[in-house]
Amino acid sequence: MEQRGTLKSWNDQQGFGFIRPQQGGVEVFAHISALRGERRPVAGDAVLYVAGHDPKGRLRAEHVRLDAPISLDDPSIRQRPRGQRSSRPAAAARAVRLGQSRRLCTQGIQHLGLKLLVLAALCGLPLAGCWQLATAQPLLIWLYLSASVLTFIFYWQDKRSAISGRWRVSENRLHLAELLGGWPGALVAQQVFRHKTRKLSFQLLCWGIVLLHQLFWFDYLFLQQRFSAPLLQRLLTL
Protein backbone atom coordinates (compact mmCIF):
# COMPACT_ATOMS: atom_id res chain seq x y z
CA MET A 1 0.00 0.00 0.00
CA GLU A 2 1.38 3.37 -1.04
CA GLN A 3 2.03 5.99 1.60
CA ARG A 4 2.66 9.69 1.28
CA GLY A 5 5.73 11.47 2.54
CA THR A 6 8.29 14.20 1.92
CA LEU A 7 11.85 13.61 0.83
CA LYS A 8 13.59 15.16 3.81
CA SER A 9 17.13 14.76 2.44
CA TRP A 10 18.67 13.53 -0.79
CA ASN A 11 22.31 12.88 -1.75
CA ASP A 12 22.16 12.89 -5.53
CA GLN A 13 25.80 11.90 -5.99
CA GLN A 14 25.38 8.79 -3.84
CA GLY A 15 21.78 8.19 -4.92
CA PHE A 16 19.97 7.88 -1.60
CA GLY A 17 17.98 9.87 0.93
CA PHE A 18 15.32 9.68 3.64
CA ILE A 19 11.56 10.09 3.47
CA ARG A 20 9.56 11.66 6.30
CA PRO A 21 6.18 9.88 6.42
CA GLN A 22 3.14 12.15 6.24
CA GLN A 23 1.56 10.44 9.22
CA GLY A 24 4.78 10.75 11.21
CA GLY A 25 7.03 8.07 12.58
CA VAL A 26 10.44 6.76 11.68
CA GLU A 27 12.10 8.15 8.56
CA VAL A 28 12.30 5.69 5.67
CA PHE A 29 15.50 5.04 3.71
CA ALA A 30 15.10 5.49 -0.06
CA HIS A 31 17.57 4.41 -2.73
CA ILE A 32 17.68 5.54 -6.35
CA SER A 33 17.21 1.94 -7.51
CA ALA A 34 13.67 2.01 -6.10
CA LEU A 35 12.70 5.24 -7.87
CA ARG A 36 10.32 5.29 -10.82
CA GLY A 37 9.45 8.32 -12.91
CA GLU A 38 10.86 10.75 -15.43
CA ARG A 39 13.30 12.75 -13.28
CA ARG A 40 15.58 12.37 -10.28
CA PRO A 41 14.19 13.67 -6.99
CA VAL A 42 15.39 16.59 -4.93
CA ALA A 43 15.08 17.30 -1.22
CA GLY A 44 11.58 18.60 -0.41
CA ASP A 45 9.76 16.60 -3.10
CA ALA A 46 6.44 15.03 -2.13
CA VAL A 47 6.63 11.31 -2.86
CA LEU A 48 4.56 8.16 -2.78
CA TYR A 49 6.27 5.01 -1.58
CA VAL A 50 5.71 1.44 -0.51
CA ALA A 51 7.37 0.62 2.78
CA GLY A 52 9.36 -2.56 3.13
CA HIS A 53 12.42 -4.00 4.84
CA ASP A 54 15.89 -4.93 3.69
CA PRO A 55 17.42 -8.38 4.42
CA LYS A 56 18.58 -7.11 7.82
CA GLY A 57 15.09 -5.99 8.78
CA ARG A 58 15.71 -2.26 8.38
CA LEU A 59 12.92 -0.04 7.09
CA ARG A 60 13.26 1.09 3.47
CA ALA A 61 11.16 2.24 0.54
CA GLU A 62 10.74 -0.53 -2.03
CA HIS A 63 8.93 1.57 -4.61
CA VAL A 64 9.16 5.37 -4.82
CA ARG A 65 7.60 7.85 -7.23
CA LEU A 66 6.92 11.56 -7.17
CA ASP A 67 3.50 12.57 -5.84
CA ALA A 68 2.40 13.86 -9.24
CA PRO A 69 0.40 12.64 -12.23
CA ILE A 70 1.68 9.25 -13.35
CA SER A 71 4.33 9.52 -16.05
CA LEU A 72 6.46 7.13 -18.05
CA ASP A 73 9.43 5.60 -16.27
CA ASP A 74 12.85 6.67 -17.52
CA PRO A 75 15.48 4.06 -16.49
CA SER A 76 18.30 6.56 -17.00
CA ILE A 77 17.30 8.45 -13.85
CA ARG A 78 18.57 5.50 -11.80
CA GLN A 79 22.06 5.96 -13.20
CA ARG A 80 24.55 8.40 -11.73
CA PRO A 81 24.66 11.63 -13.77
CA ARG A 82 27.49 11.54 -16.31
CA GLY A 83 29.27 14.59 -14.95
CA GLN A 84 29.33 13.18 -11.44
CA ARG A 85 30.28 9.71 -12.63
CA SER A 86 33.45 10.90 -14.32
CA SER A 87 34.42 13.52 -11.75
CA ARG A 88 36.45 12.95 -8.63
CA PRO A 89 36.98 15.46 -5.86
CA ALA A 90 40.39 17.07 -6.09
CA ALA A 91 41.29 16.07 -2.54
CA ALA A 92 40.51 12.41 -3.26
CA ALA A 93 42.57 12.51 -6.45
CA ARG A 94 45.52 14.00 -4.56
CA ALA A 95 45.17 11.33 -1.90
CA VAL A 96 45.31 8.62 -4.55
CA ARG A 97 48.40 10.14 -6.15
CA LEU A 98 50.04 10.54 -2.74
CA GLY A 99 49.35 6.93 -1.90
CA GLN A 100 50.79 5.78 -5.22
CA SER A 101 53.87 7.94 -4.69
CA ARG A 102 54.41 6.55 -1.19
CA ARG A 103 54.11 3.01 -2.50
CA LEU A 104 56.69 3.76 -5.18
CA CYS A 105 59.10 5.24 -2.64
CA THR A 106 58.71 2.30 -0.28
CA GLN A 107 59.21 -0.31 -2.98
CA GLY A 108 62.94 0.43 -3.01
CA ILE A 109 65.38 1.41 -5.74
CA GLN A 110 65.88 -1.15 -8.46
CA HIS A 111 69.46 -2.34 -8.98
CA LEU A 112 70.55 -0.36 -5.94
CA GLY A 113 74.04 -1.85 -5.77
CA LEU A 114 74.83 -1.06 -9.39
CA LYS A 115 73.53 2.49 -9.12
CA LEU A 116 75.56 3.13 -5.96
CA LEU A 117 78.64 1.87 -7.78
CA VAL A 118 78.00 4.23 -10.71
CA LEU A 119 77.44 7.15 -8.33
CA ALA A 120 80.67 6.40 -6.49
CA ALA A 121 82.57 6.25 -9.80
CA LEU A 122 81.11 9.58 -10.92
CA CYS A 123 82.06 11.20 -7.63
CA GLY A 124 85.64 9.93 -7.85
CA LEU A 125 87.08 12.69 -10.04
CA PRO A 126 85.39 15.58 -8.17
CA LEU A 127 86.52 14.18 -4.81
CA ALA A 128 90.09 13.74 -6.03
CA GLY A 129 90.13 17.27 -7.42
CA CYS A 130 88.66 18.77 -4.27
CA TRP A 131 91.22 16.88 -2.19
CA GLN A 132 94.07 18.45 -4.15
CA LEU A 133 92.54 21.88 -3.71
CA ALA A 134 91.82 21.33 -0.02
CA THR A 135 94.80 23.37 1.13
CA ALA A 136 94.01 26.34 -1.10
CA GLN A 137 90.22 26.16 -1.01
CA PRO A 138 89.01 23.89 1.82
CA LEU A 139 85.46 25.12 1.35
CA LEU A 140 85.20 23.66 -2.14
CA ILE A 141 84.24 20.17 -0.97
CA TRP A 142 81.67 21.69 1.37
CA LEU A 143 80.27 23.57 -1.60
CA TYR A 144 79.69 20.27 -3.38
CA LEU A 145 78.03 18.76 -0.33
CA SER A 146 75.85 21.81 0.34
CA ALA A 147 74.80 22.03 -3.30
CA SER A 148 73.86 18.33 -3.30
CA VAL A 149 71.77 18.68 -0.15
CA LEU A 150 70.03 21.77 -1.55
CA THR A 151 69.34 20.04 -4.86
CA PHE A 152 67.94 17.01 -3.05
CA ILE A 153 65.56 19.32 -1.17
CA PHE A 154 64.51 21.00 -4.44
CA TYR A 155 63.61 17.60 -5.92
CA TRP A 156 61.70 16.66 -2.77
CA GLN A 157 59.70 19.91 -2.90
CA ASP A 158 58.97 19.47 -6.59
CA LYS A 159 57.77 15.90 -6.07
CA ARG A 160 55.43 16.95 -3.26
CA SER A 161 54.13 19.85 -5.36
CA ALA A 162 53.49 17.53 -8.30
CA ILE A 163 51.46 15.21 -6.08
CA SER A 164 49.42 17.93 -4.37
CA GLY A 165 48.95 20.09 -7.48
CA ARG A 166 50.78 23.08 -6.03
CA TRP A 167 53.32 25.44 -7.61
CA ARG A 168 56.25 23.44 -9.00
CA VAL A 169 59.99 24.03 -8.73
CA SER A 170 61.12 25.11 -12.19
CA GLU A 171 63.35 22.81 -14.20
CA ASN A 172 65.76 25.70 -14.74
CA ARG A 173 66.26 25.97 -10.98
CA LEU A 174 66.87 22.22 -10.71
CA HIS A 175 69.44 22.32 -13.51
CA LEU A 176 71.13 25.40 -12.07
CA ALA A 177 71.51 23.64 -8.73
CA GLU A 178 73.00 20.64 -10.55
CA LEU A 179 75.42 22.87 -12.46
CA LEU A 180 76.62 24.51 -9.24
CA GLY A 181 77.72 21.13 -7.93
CA GLY A 182 74.48 19.55 -6.80
CA TRP A 183 74.31 16.86 -9.47
CA PRO A 184 75.12 14.02 -7.00
CA GLY A 185 72.12 15.05 -4.90
CA ALA A 186 70.02 15.22 -8.07
CA LEU A 187 70.93 11.67 -9.09
CA VAL A 188 70.10 10.37 -5.62
CA ALA A 189 66.81 12.29 -5.44
CA GLN A 190 65.69 11.05 -8.86
CA GLN A 191 65.99 7.46 -7.67
CA VAL A 192 64.62 7.96 -4.15
CA PHE A 193 61.54 9.91 -5.26
CA ARG A 194 61.15 8.31 -8.72
CA HIS A 195 61.08 11.84 -10.08
CA LYS A 196 62.12 13.25 -13.48
CA THR A 197 63.44 9.85 -14.58
CA ARG A 198 61.21 9.44 -17.64
CA LYS A 199 61.43 12.88 -19.22
CA LEU A 200 64.06 12.49 -21.92
CA SER A 201 64.85 16.19 -22.44
CA PHE A 202 65.37 16.68 -18.70
CA GLN A 203 67.58 13.60 -18.40
CA LEU A 204 69.73 14.64 -21.37
CA LEU A 205 70.45 18.04 -19.86
CA CYS A 206 71.02 16.56 -16.40
CA TRP A 207 73.54 14.02 -17.67
CA GLY A 208 75.13 16.71 -19.83
CA ILE A 209 75.83 18.66 -16.63
CA VAL A 210 77.28 15.52 -15.02
CA LEU A 211 79.52 15.01 -18.07
CA LEU A 212 80.63 18.65 -17.94
CA HIS A 213 81.78 18.22 -14.33
CA GLN A 214 83.60 15.00 -15.22
CA LEU A 215 85.44 16.68 -18.10
CA PHE A 216 86.36 19.65 -15.93
CA TRP A 217 87.97 17.51 -13.23
CA PHE A 218 89.56 15.12 -15.73
CA ASP A 219 91.30 18.09 -17.34
CA TYR A 220 92.32 19.45 -13.96
CA LEU A 221 93.81 16.16 -12.78
CA PHE A 222 95.29 14.63 -15.96
CA LEU A 223 95.70 17.31 -18.66
CA GLN A 224 97.76 19.83 -16.70
CA GLN A 225 94.71 22.02 -16.26
CA ARG A 226 94.82 23.09 -19.88
CA PHE A 227 91.20 24.14 -19.93
CA SER A 228 90.09 24.05 -16.31
CA ALA A 229 92.75 26.32 -14.78
CA PRO A 230 91.52 29.58 -16.36
CA LEU A 231 87.92 28.73 -15.48
CA LEU A 232 88.81 27.67 -11.95
CA GLN A 233 90.87 30.82 -11.42
CA ARG A 234 87.90 32.92 -12.39
CA LEU A 235 85.65 31.00 -10.03
CA LEU A 236 88.05 31.34 -7.11
CA THR A 237 88.34 35.08 -7.58
CA LEU A 238 84.59 35.64 -7.49
* Own/partner long-range contacts of 6-12 (Cβ < 8 Å, ≥24 apart): 6/44, 6/45, 6/46, 6/47, 7/41, 7/42, 7/43, 7/44, 7/45, 7/46, 7/47, 8/43, 9/43, 10/41, 10/42, 10/43, 10/45, 12/40, 12/42, 12/81, 12/84
pLDDT for 178: 95
pLDDT tens figures, 65-108: 888 776 677 777 777 665 554 445 555 555 555 555 555 454 56
Helices of type H across the chain: 82-86, 90-106, 112-132, 139-164, 171-177, 183-193, 200-222, 228-236
Residue 131 has what DSSP assignment?
Answer: H
Looking at the domain that runs over 2-86, which CATH code has it been given? Answer: 2.40.50.140
pLDDT tens figures, 133-150: 777 677 777 888 999 999
Question: pTM of the prediction?
Answer: 0.55
Residue spans per domain, the chain: 2-86, 110-236
Lowest mean pLDDT among 20-29, 44-53, 188-197, 225-234: 225-234
pLDDT for 86: 45
